[in-house]
């Protein structure tokens, strides 16, 4: 499954449920939500600071990506510092 399909499913929730039971999450997806030309590290930090949870979907591509590993390490460090 491609990343944008996972984001779409997380945001839509379960279409088989009605009303509040349906779920759905606000998702920060870097290709859509980070400003073009912005400082990537600052965008990562702001996204983590304003999130309830950080979800990492591990794949070979994720592990090979320097930016994904930067996001992961930043989230990990923030959680340790804030005991979350």
Tell me the pLDDT band of 20, cut-offs 50, 70 and 90: low
Give the list of residues 6+ apart from residue 57 with CB closer than 8 angstroms, or none: 3, 6
In this prediction the pTM is 0.67
13 pLDDT above the threshold of 90: no
74 pLDDT above the threshold of 70: yes
CB 28 within 8 A of CB 16: no
64 pLDDT above the threshold of 90: yes
Tell me the pLDDT band of 19, cut-offs 50, 70 and 90: low
User: For 38-42, 64-68, 74-78, which range has the lowest pLDDT when averaged over its residues?
Assistant: 38-42
């Amino acid at each position: 499954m491609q990343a944008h399909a996972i984001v779409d499913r997380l945001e839509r929730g379960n279409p088989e449920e009605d009303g509040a039971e349906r779920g759905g999450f606000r998702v920060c997806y870097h290709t859509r939500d980070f400003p073009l030309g912005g400082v990537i590290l600052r965008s990562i930090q702001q996204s983590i600071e304003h999130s309830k949870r950080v979800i990492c979907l591990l794949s070979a591509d994720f592990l090979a990506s320097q930016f994904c590993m930067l996001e992961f390490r930043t989230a990990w460090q923030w959680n340790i510092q804030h005991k979350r």
